[in-house]
Structures are given as C-alpha cells and as structure tokens.
C-alpha cells in the first residue's frame, strides 16, 4: 500500500481527496498540510511514497514545494491535484507523475493511483545496487540521438539528467536528447566515473570542480562547464566515499 500525503489549503478539498484515495484501498494517508513550510517539514519526517499537491496554496506555490522535495533523502512521487489546468506543462517539468483536476472524479483518482503503483513497481524491478566505482575506464558510450547512433567519449560526459522519462546527456561541447531512461544509462555506465547522485541525475566525478552545501544535508555539484547538479541526501554519503572525503 502506498503512503500518501496531501497538500492543499482547502480543508474540504483535502477531505474529498483523502476519501477517494481511501476508496482505492491502495493508499494510506499519513499526513496533510495547508502550507509549503508545514508540508516540507512533515514530508521529510514522514517519508510518504506519493504527495498529492495543489499548486495554489494561499501565498505559497506548489511548484516551489515540488522543487524542494527533489533533494530530500527519500524523494516522493508527485501528483498535482489542482483546479488549474494551465500548469500541466510546468508540472511535468518537475517530474510529476500525474495531474488531476478539481472537482475530483473517483475513476480519475483511481487511474492515477494505479499509474503510480505500476511506475513504482517497475522502478523497483529495474533498481539494483550500483557497483562500486572501479578504476577509471577509457571507452565510449553508444547512444541513439537524432536518428543516429553516436559514440560519446565517456571522459567528455559532464552529467546526464532525466525529464519525463527521457534523458539529456550533456558533454563538454554538446547536449543530446535521448529516448533512453536514466536507469538504463546508469547500468551501462557502471564502473566508470559517471555515477548516480540524485534520482534524476548522473554526474561525472571527473568533471566536478566544486561541492556546495545545500539544505537538509544535501549538496550541489559545480561542474567544469559551470552547470550545477543536485546531490540528494541519500547519495551524499556514497559520493563522499567515492571522492575520498
């Protein structure tokens, strides 16, 4: 069963959504909040699997909360539950799994829960402990981009990011949009200097020039091209070990 958390500044909307989620018999609501500050603290403590998040929260913005949640040690899945359909594109830019509109329809809520369950199950099946970083390996990564097969020098990779199930590979001179999930690239890059540092990022440790502290024990990697890559708290300890810190 999923552990769910609802963030909405309207009590009646929270009650309605909690009722519909309960009827699916697949979600247990572990907490609720009506503001960004309260939600962030409670979610970090309760570690829910999925957060049902409104976008308009009085003086707060649910998009900002979604961004802050991405650096927690246990990053929850996000489902936006709102009365505004014009934010759908922005929602998926912060890796939301779904977007449901008020007034909530029971069948739509049930489909969302089924989607979350299936995606989490698939993610767990794909996930495997990352092998320890071995000696530096000289080689190339073959990727399909722009209807071509490209051979990328691994040493030239800066980082790889994930967005809506697709990946963007950034090198010292180019960016490539790939139709390959991040978990597949992580597996193919195992044993190289390109390692997982966040749910949505792989980073080349040889391209890191600076490590900046972030909130909640997370940190930010400054790369040699001056881009910044977040490191979630759950990967910080392993990263320090790999870097000998």
What is the rounded average pLDDT of the residues 219-232? 92
Q: Using the 8-state DSSP alphabet, how is residue 131 labeled?
A: P
Nearest to 87, CA basis, from 60, 120, 62, 117? 62
pLDDT for res 128: 54
Cα–Cα distance for residue pair 28/6, rounded to 1 Å: 11
* % of the chain residues with pLDDT over 90: 45
pTM above 0.85, yes or no: no
Nearest to 100, CA basis, from 20, 34, 11? 20
What is the rounded average pLDDT of the residues 48-54? 93
pLDDT for res 213: 84
Taken in order of first residue, the domains within the chain and their CATH numbers are 2-126 (3.40.50.2300), 140-243 (2.40.50.1020)
pLDDT for res 92: 66
Output the CA angle 227-191-201, nearest 5 degrees: 30
Give helix then strand counts, H and E, for the chain.
7, 17
Residue 46 has pLDDT above 80, yes or no: yes
Question: Do 181 and 187 meet the contact criterion of CB atoms below 8 Å apart?
Answer: no
Cα–Cα distance for residue pair 139/158, rounded to 1 Å: 15
Nearest to 115, CA basis, from 182, 183, 165, 67? 165
């Amino acid at each position: 069963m999923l552990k769910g958390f609802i963030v909405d500044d309207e009590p009646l909307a929270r009650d309605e959504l909690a009722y519909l989620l309960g009827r699916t018999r697949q979600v247990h609501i572990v907490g609720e909040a009506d503001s960004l500050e309260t939600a962030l603290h409670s979610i970090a403590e309760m570690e829910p699997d999925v957060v049902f998040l409104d976008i308009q929260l009085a003086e707060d913005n649910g998009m900002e909360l979604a961004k802050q949640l991405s650096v927690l040690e246990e990053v929850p899945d996000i489902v936006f539950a709102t009365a505004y359909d014009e934010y759908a594109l922005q929602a998926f830019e912060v890796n939301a799994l779904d977007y449901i509109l008020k007034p909530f329809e029971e069948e739509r809520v049930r489909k969302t829960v089924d989607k979350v369950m299936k995606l989490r199950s698939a993610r767990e099946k794909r996930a495997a402990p990352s092998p320890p970083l071995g000696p530096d390996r000289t080689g190339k990564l073959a990727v399909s981009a722009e209807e071509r097969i490209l051979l990328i020098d691994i040493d030239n990779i800066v980082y790889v990011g994930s967005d809506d199930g697709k990946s963007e590979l950034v090198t010292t001179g180019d960016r490539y949009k790939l139709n390959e999930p991040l978990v597949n690239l992580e597996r193919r890059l195992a044993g190289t200097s390109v390692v997982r540092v966040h749910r949505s990022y792989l980073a080349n440790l040889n391209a890191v020039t600076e490590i900046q502290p972030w909130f909640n024990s997370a940190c930010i990697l400054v790369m040699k091209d001056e881009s910044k890559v977040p490191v979630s708290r759950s990967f910080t300890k392993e990263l320090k070990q790999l870097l000998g810190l």
